[in-house]
Structure 1
């Protein structure tokens, strides 16, 4: 029978190795860290106890061999049949060689040190307080927002200049000079380059040797304004999955995306990145502080990553304009306590300086003082955008009066949805950091699934806008580290049960939720359709790097491809391409007919629905069919759902029994 120290050594050794593997390669959750180091302490204590016992046993055996008449009752030496493989796999001491005993111990110590390296190498060796960089944010037909950071006072004043790439290289235009940068803004500033020409390629240059390029947006109403391409994703964490030989601030997903986009034809090159939150993870794997300096340092470290300038000079991530929304890990996990409670004020400071000031303008009707607004709206080509802030103004979820937007933002969104768009704008794109669908069964209340009353109000306004304004509304979101395409059919369409089945394309508002750009993904299935309100189109959970490429262009589209005689019609067509780990795996198409009769109906004899908008359809699907392992992954993914259900029923039963006992006592 195995002794207690042997059981403790073997079990703690297995725990160290398994938990570290999960932590470093699968999910860098904060719960794994104390388990790993506690298990290591238990293992080392148990190992020393076994080694000490073996030495004592050996001494007693030697004494008996010299003539002692009494056999020792203490443990003897380890089993001589113990193999080297057994020692390496179990962590138990070897009877054959002390060398292998120390090797297996060093393996566990090394695993713990790798965990420690992932935790603190970037934090300790790359405080990034001296990082200087520049990037482009929001770009319009005539302006571009340039964010820069320069902590070295010897570089002041910073002179900002720009020029057209096709003009005389010596012909630089000075936009301005920055004479002061200090700690109040973490040494950042935003300069707006003005008086630019639409659809023109520019280079900017700073006197501190920072430079970059950008392209302005086409003039509204011009032929070039009929097309736009952009990318969207969310969630990034440096050096994950962990690689000992990698730079601790390297972001593999950024490099992979940049390389992939660099191979696209010129027409598909994205105009910007719409990044939907979790740009920093202040609390993953561990929160080392909640002060202003801690939050600022996380932003500086991300912008210190070598991944921004990896690859060819003409195809670097730093030259792609990024615009940002806010999510929970930039504050605290599942944040729902408003904008006054700590640590929100400290978290908001770098988000404002590094992102908000370079973002698009606020909506025309914000229904709040402009300085208090962190939601944005802009037009680019055939689409208008509304970028929601689903963290700053939200209240506690799953209550009758819960709000995810707050009163002012809700009114601003409803005004935007109801507003007719200028000629040539056929799409309203609404970006949310968290998904609209309630199909995610893990952490549902942190999404719009915890604010269903407000969601219904927003959906009714969207359905009405699609019917009355002749535009199509697309929802984009992130947060979940998975991809999910969902449609929300207008009840007035009265679709049949077959049209509401899971994994079908068709009618309705469409949401594309994608992430992470560079982070873990869940090895279980957590998305499942539960009713006919949220209809699953596609679910793709796997992949450490996922992003969507959205391309909108005029084309000829069959109004109903399934009809016996399809009717080609000039349309504005949106194509969504899902990329997983650098490869395109799924494509989906939606369209808006551009030719309408005097009554505003699509020019076709085909019997269409009330919405007048054609159904979506799958163009390409390279995802592997689900196999036997999906059943196991789905069962594990439903563990929280089942556990919550059991807990609720048990609690309800407890209070029923308690209430009955109290009534009987009163009767007595």
Structure 2
């Protein structure tokens, strides 16, 4: 029978290796290994004068232990009679320890990035472009900003935009300059006097033929050097590189105009929080922008030249944040988010229902689509309450006004961007999503269904956060769909949500998404992959108004195609359309009494195939985790109720 010592050593070593593999904190377990290996009692007592002769065994003797094999020692971490093999297995654990410390500490201490200097383009309109830059070297001041058309033959012809005379710590040495008086659909380059340069393309003039087409990329969640590679630069972001190369392979017409990044740009608390001061939050942003991956280039140009616009999520503040925008550490977290992202973001909605200085939700139009970018963190209250709000009253009113407002001619899509999923089909951490705010979700959905019925537009929901991909549709109850139209894993009618992430982060080898009712109908679930992003392309085409009909009718439509990329390769495509002639709509299926002017969705490519035999195990693990989360939440709620501890939340709309 195995001794307690051997069991402890084996469990400790296996745990060390497992937790090191998933980059969690485990270093304390190493203390078990050292004393048991080096200070264990000798396995064979030394013979003493007057003792038993060799070869003789008394009934009180301890039988000799069998010699451990080298393979067993290396695989289990158990000590061996061979000092060399024992030392080798200890070195394996020590190397894992050093790799984990390297992952946690090298970027933090070797690359504080105080001297980080960069420039990037944010929101771009037909006539303007927001240019953000950081320059901590005050000897380079003043910084002059100029631009020219990229097709200009004479390189000396530059248009001066302005000069920045002062940069200081109040903005972490960042500044935003808006380039004005630009031409629509034109390729430009910009230049700063501190040797920072880049290129961008302005969006199309509304109503022009070019305004019927738009492509953009969307994702969420990134962490440098993940998956961990000891030979990588600690600030490398593999997902940015994969995305850049994938974009470079696209035809010029389909290359995205911008990145819509839906939160968790930094992970202040994963795997460890090293501080909650303004300087700690700022340093995380600087490290991301110091990544060598931004310089990765392809036929589409370097990654840093793709305009990025941002929403806020929890890991830029604190995991599952729901304590308002005045409670610490939110103010410290908001400081760099404002300077590095909000300053270069699109404008706020025309009707924000709040003072502009207290608005972190945005709205803009680009080509055939109108966008509303939600802030689902700053104004939310505690979830799963009768009056819980994820948007706050001002943002909710602004969104409802936006949804009910007709779009100008040529705009057929309203795209709502949320950092967390609308669907409640994710069964782990559901209350951190819109699943914890179902009353407000219902009010928003009713406004969306009304808009689709009355305004001749289609609404698309985009989200991130979950480190997985899930496509879900939310059928309008007025359609009164039959059971066949509500089956899981089917294309069809309804509002559609595409939730994707991470751009470069971990994914969990379990299954946590499944349909539980007829409200949230699963279309596609793809959990695996350390890098996932979606490319959305909108353009005019002639499609069948109802592909399932016995005699499909071709209709000129605005067509949206969603392409899911996993680890740099496209694996799934889905198509939705809006008939451009309003009366060329499609009737619902024969068994359905309601009529919709919007055709059903259609899967046009699926390379994911059938899932393997291990899916049942992964689903079981996911359900165990769901139960554990439920018990923890209930236990915490009970404890707080009994102890009378009520945490006051400060929330300002």
TM-score, normalisation: structure 1: 0.91
1:286 aligned onto 2:286: no
For the 8 Å contact 1:299–1:350, the answer to whether it is kept is yes
* Aligned-pair CA distance for 1:372: 0.5
The aligned runs of 1:141-152 (5 Å cut-off) are: 141-152=126-137
Report the 3-state secondary structure (helix = DSSP H, G, I; strand = E; otherwise coil) of the residue aligned with 2:453. helix
Q: Would the alpha carbon gap of residues 328 and 5 (structure 1) be closer, same or farther in structure 2, given more than 3 Å must change?
A: same
Q: Would the alpha carbon gap of residues 71 and 150 (structure 1) be closer, same or farther in structure 2, given more than 3 Å must change?
A: farther
Which deviates more, 210-219 or 78-87?
Answer: 78-87
For the 8 Å contact 1:60–1:72, the answer to whether it is kept is no
* C-alpha distance in structure 2 between counterparts of 1:193 and 1:157, whole Å: 17
Structure 2 counterpart of 1:268, from 254, 266, 269: 254
Find the counterpart in structure 2 of residue 19 from structure 1. 19
* C-alpha distance in structure 1 between counterparts of 2:529 and 2:331, whole Å: 34
* C-alpha distance in structure 2 between counterparts of 1:518 and 1:528, whole Å: 24
Structure 2 counterpart of 1:627, from 612, 618, 631: 612
Listed one character per residue, the Cα deviations across residues 351-407 of structure 1 (whole Å, up to 9, x for unaligned) are 000000000000000000001000000000000000000000000000000000000
1:381 aligned onto 2:371: no
Q: How many residues in Structure 1 have an aligned counterpart in Structure 2?
A: 636
* Aligned-pair CA distance for 1:66: 8.0
* C-alpha distance in structure 2 between counterparts of 1:61 and 1:345, whole Å: 73
Find the counterpart in structure 2 of residue 28 from structure 1. none
Structure 2 counterpart of 1:114, from 99, 121, 127: 99
Structure 2 counterpart of 1:453, from 427, 430, 439: 439
* Aligned-pair CA distance for 1:650: 10
* Aligned-pair CA distance for 1:176: 0.7
Which deviates more, 560-569 or 296-305?
Answer: 560-569
* C-alpha distance in structure 2 between counterparts of 1:445 and 1:162, whole Å: 47
For the 8 Å contact 2:365–2:371, the answer to whether it is kept is yes
1:466 aligned onto 2:452: yes
Alignment gaps of 5+ in structure 2: 640-653
Q: Would the alpha carbon gap of residues 284 and 63 (structure 1) be closer, same or farther in structure 2, given more than 3 Å must change?
A: farther
For the 8 Å contact 1:567–1:604, the answer to whether it is kept is no
Q: Would the alpha carbon gap of residues 627 and 606 (structure 1) be closer, same or farther in structure 2, given more than 3 Å must change?
A: closer
Find the counterpart in structure 1 of residue 32 from structure 2. 42
* C-alpha distance in structure 1 between counterparts of 2:401 and 2:49, whole Å: 91
* Aligned-pair CA distance for 1:5: 2.1
1:369 aligned onto 2:355: yes
Report the 3-state secondary structure (helix = DSSP H, G, I; strand = E; otherwise coil) of the residue aligned with 2:395. helix
Find the counterpart in structure 2 of residue 321 from structure 1. 307
Q: Would the alpha carbon gap of residues 152 and 503 (structure 1) be closer, same or farther in structure 2, given more than 3 Å must change?
A: same
Structure 1 counterpart of 2:585, from 602, 607, 614: 602
Q: Would the alpha carbon gap of residues 157 and 323 (structure 1) be closer, same or farther in structure 2, given more than 3 Å must change?
A: same
* Aligned-pair CA distance for 1:644: 5.6
Which deviates more, 562-571 or 233-242?
Answer: 562-571
* C-alpha distance in structure 1 between counterparts of 2:61 and 2:133, whole Å: 71
* C-alpha distance in structure 1 between counterparts of 2:49 and 2:58, whole Å: 11
* C-alpha distance in structure 2 between counterparts of 1:201 and 1:462, whole Å: 36
TM-score, normalisation: structure 2: 0.93
Report the 3-state secondary structure (helix = DSSP H, G, I; strand = E; otherwise coil) of the residue aligned with 1:53. coil
1:567 aligned onto 2:567: no
Find the counterpart in structure 1 of residue 600 from structure 2. 615
Report the 3-state secondary structure (helix = DSSP H, G, I; strand = E; otherwise coil) of the residue aligned with 1:311. coil
Q: Would the alpha carbon gap of residues 649 and 367 (structure 1) be closer, same or farther in structure 2, given more than 3 Å must change?
A: closer
* C-alpha distance in structure 2 between counterparts of 1:231 and 1:319, whole Å: 14
Q: Would the alpha carbon gap of residues 551 and 71 (structure 1) be closer, same or farther in structure 2, given more than 3 Å must change?
A: same
Report the 3-state secondary structure (helix = DSSP H, G, I; strand = E; otherwise coil) of the residue aligned with 1:191. strand
Tell me how large the CA RMSD over aligned residues is.
2.4
Q: Would the alpha carbon gap of residues 278 and 646 (structure 1) be closer, same or farther in structure 2, given more than 3 Å must change?
A: closer
Find the counterpart in structure 1 of residue 532 from structure 2. 546
1:199 aligned onto 2:185: yes
1:220 aligned onto 2:206: yes
Find the counterpart in structure 2 of residue 527 from structure 1. 513
Report the 3-state secondary structure (helix = DSSP H, G, I; strand = E; otherwise coil) of the residue aligned with 2:39. helix
The aligned runs of 1:296-375 (5 Å cut-off) are: 296-312=282-298, 315-375=301-361
Find the counterpart in structure 2 of residue 93 from structure 1. 79
Structure 2 counterpart of 1:405, from 377, 383, 391: 391
* C-alpha distance in structure 2 between counterparts of 1:206 and 1:420, whole Å: 40
Find the counterpart in structure 2 of residue 664 from structure 1. none
Report the 3-state secondary structure (helix = DSSP H, G, I; strand = E; otherwise coil) of the residue aligned with 2:22. helix
1:590 aligned onto 2:576: yes
* Aligned-pair CA distance for 1:638: 0.8
* C-alpha distance in structure 2 between counterparts of 1:65 and 1:171, whole Å: 101
For the 8 Å contact 1:61–1:72, the answer to whether it is kept is no
* Aligned-pair CA distance for 1:90: 2.1
Find the counterpart in structure 1 of residue 236 from structure 2. 250
For the 8 Å contact 1:366–1:408, the answer to whether it is kept is yes
Q: Would the alpha carbon gap of residues 75 and 334 (structure 1) be closer, same or farther in structure 2, given more than 3 Å must change?
A: farther
* Aligned-pair CA distance for 1:103: 1.1
* C-alpha distance in structure 1 between counterparts of 2:50 and 2:397, whole Å: 89
* C-alpha distance in structure 2 between counterparts of 1:366 and 1:650, whole Å: 39
For the 8 Å contact 1:227–1:551, the answer to whether it is kept is yes
Find the counterpart in structure 2 of residue 160 from structure 1. 145
Q: Would the alpha carbon gap of residues 170 and 294 (structure 1) be closer, same or farther in structure 2, given more than 3 Å must change?
A: same
Find the counterpart in structure 2 of residue 657 from structure 1. none
Find the counterpart in structure 1 of residue 8 from structure 2. 8
Report the 3-state secondary structure (helix = DSSP H, G, I; strand = E; otherwise coil) of the residue aligned with 1:159. strand
Report the 3-state secondary structure (helix = DSSP H, G, I; strand = E; otherwise coil) of the residue aligned with 2:163. strand
* Aligned-pair CA distance for 1:94: 2.2
Relative to its length, the structure with more helix (as a share) is: 1
The aligned runs of 1:470-509 (5 Å cut-off) are: 470-509=456-495
Q: Would the alpha carbon gap of residues 495 and 614 (structure 1) be closer, same or farther in structure 2, given more than 3 Å must change?
A: same
Alignment gaps of 5+ in structure 1: 24-31, 655-668
Q: Would the alpha carbon gap of residues 75 and 169 (structure 1) be closer, same or farther in structure 2, given more than 3 Å must change?
A: farther
* Aligned-pair CA distance for 1:459: 0.4
Find the counterpart in structure 1 of residue 564 from structure 2. 578
* Aligned-pair CA distance for 1:561: 1.4
Report the 3-state secondary structure (helix = DSSP H, G, I; strand = E; otherwise coil) of the residue aligned with 2:42. helix
Find the counterpart in structure 2 of residue 636 from structure 1. 621
Report the 3-state secondary structure (helix = DSSP H, G, I; strand = E; otherwise coil) of the residue aligned with 1:638. helix
1:210 aligned onto 2:193: no
* C-alpha distance in structure 1 between counterparts of 2:126 and 2:470, whole Å: 33
* C-alpha distance in structure 1 between counterparts of 2:54 and 2:452, whole Å: 99
Listed one character per residue, the Cα deviations across residues 573-599 of structure 1 (whole Å, up to 9, x for unaligned) are 0000000111111100000001234xx
Q: Would the alpha carbon gap of residues 63 and 9 (structure 1) be closer, same or farther in structure 2, given more than 3 Å must change?
A: farther
Find the counterpart in structure 1 of residue 122 from structure 2. 137
1:435 aligned onto 2:421: yes
Q: Would the alpha carbon gap of residues 228 and 652 (structure 1) be closer, same or farther in structure 2, given more than 3 Å must change?
A: closer
